[in-house]
Chain A
């Protein structure tokens, strides 16, 4: 799939239409941001994301690191007094902009690409390939080298990849979405 033009109005309509119709009940109490485990690393906090959507400033959101650093732990959604599923909003923002030309957290984008490719190729995740590929891909060659010896000593990783017999069929379908 090639990088496509981005239609911000469409994303906003989808969000307000069926992903989270309750969004406009947000009273900016900030409970979501208070509970969020990674909030300190965000450019915009969860409650600010909601208010940016309401103000139609989608451009800022889709180019922020917030949507990619969100670990989808769902604290925000479960504590929201208006039961707004903020985690679903975040996920829709990710899915809607994944193929688009936006600013993303580089490491995370590389990780997702590599992981999805491995599943397409092997049918399963292949951890040694994933970790080494990620280290090379992100230029952090010695990342986690300190625990690599521990892992090998405890035989806690499978050195060789496993191939799923049905990987051709899986590959055919998954190729459409990557």
Chain B
């Protein structure tokens, strides 16, 4: 008997729609390979990310919650939001919407009531109960690990199939960054100080990873636009540590980390008079290639530091 198809709403977010198109495309191709159906949330808006969250939490909740209710209109309660910042903001909004008024303190109660008012002002008719499940790419793939393993078996059993040469050359360190598990509201689906989800997923497709001490160090995140020197230093430390651990590449799932480490690697080199050439690949690109996608399909050519073959 064929299993029921998995259907989800997809929230790309602003970055994935622009500066991280390669991440976006590699996710979509990977979902297709795994047979997961997705539909982009119609007319989605920015979640507000750090600027909204740091200046007015009501603003942050209202912007994020609109996307959830749009997904609900399309009949979805499961939302994949690959960007870690969007995932945190959407997840937080989902918790507020689902919360029971009895359990809240005055501050939280006021916040929820204001949010409901704002959503009504945006033209939504609110239902009594909502149960949104928001995933980022990592916990989503972990949940569907079986599909990855099955697909990998299928690909490797094909006669004459060889693993892509590029993957054989990679000796990867998995870099998780800071925003996935640490925030107060975040779902703790892995160890906070030494997460291993990425290693598990890559292990499923026959890729071994180096031990890496800087898995959850911060890359400096959005300070890249305002206080660049700090970011260059933090990102340099991460690259240096990866090399010290014997890796020749990094695997990430956050487009902001990826930008700071890949796009700004040339700036790091100029600033510190170094000659780093460490490709920083998205987890979905690596998994995609291991499951039979071509380099072009996962947009490997869009990386600034190319993996050498």
Contact = CB atoms under 8 A, between A and B. Distances in A.
Interface of A: 14, 18-19, 37-38, 41, 69, 71-75, 77-78, 85, 87-88, 91, 94-95, 98, 105, 107-108, 111-112, 115-116, 119, 123-125, 127, 130-131, 134, 138, 143-144, 146-147, 150-151, 154-158, 162, 164-167, 169-170, 172-174, 177-178
Contact of B263 (A85, A112, A151, A164): A151
B266 A154 contact: no
Contacts of B52: 115-116, 119
Contacts of B234: 37-38
A162 B264 contact: no
B147 to A, nearest CB: 30
Interface in B230-289: 230, 234, 263-264, 266-267, 270
A37 B228 CA distance: 14
* Chain A interface helix/strand/loop/mixed: helix
Contacts of A138: 226
Contacts of B218: 37-38, 71, 73, 75
Given A77-B182, A111-B51, A125 B63 contact: no
Contacts of B118: 173
B221 A95 contact: no
Contacts of B55: 94-95, 98, 112, 116, 177-178
A25 B54 CA distance: 26
Contact of B184 (A87, A123, A151, A178): A87
Nearest to A65: B227
Interface stretch (B41-49, B74-82, B150-158): B41-49
B223 A170 contact: no
B53 interface: yes
Contacts of A87: 183-184
A73 B186 CA distance: 12
Contacts of B51: 111-112, 115-116, 119
Contact of A123 (B45, B57, B105): B45
Contacts, number: 176
A107 B227 CA distance: 8
A162 B17 contact: yes
Nearest 6 pairs of A and B residues by beta carbon: A74-B182, A73-B178, A107-B226, A115-B51, A177-B59, A37-B218
A123 B221 CA distance: 22
Interface of B: 14-15, 17-22, 43-46, 48-59, 62-63, 66, 105-107, 118, 121-123, 178-179, 182-184, 192-193, 217-218, 220-223, 225-228, 230, 234, 263-264, 266-267, 270, 302, 304
A93 B121 CA distance: 28
Given A107-B227, A172-B121, A157 B48 contact: no
Contact of A75 (B49, B178, B227): B178
A130 B227 CA distance: 15
Given A73-B221, A95-B54, A170 B63 contact: yes
Nearest to A116: B51
A41 B40 CA distance: 41
A119 B56 CA distance: 14
Nearest to B58: A177
Nearest to A90: B54
Given A147-B266, A151-B263, A127 B182 contact: no
Contacts of A164: 43-45
A164 B20 CA distance: 19
A157 B56 contact: no
A144 B58 CA distance: 33
A156 B21 contact: yes
A95 B56 contact: yes
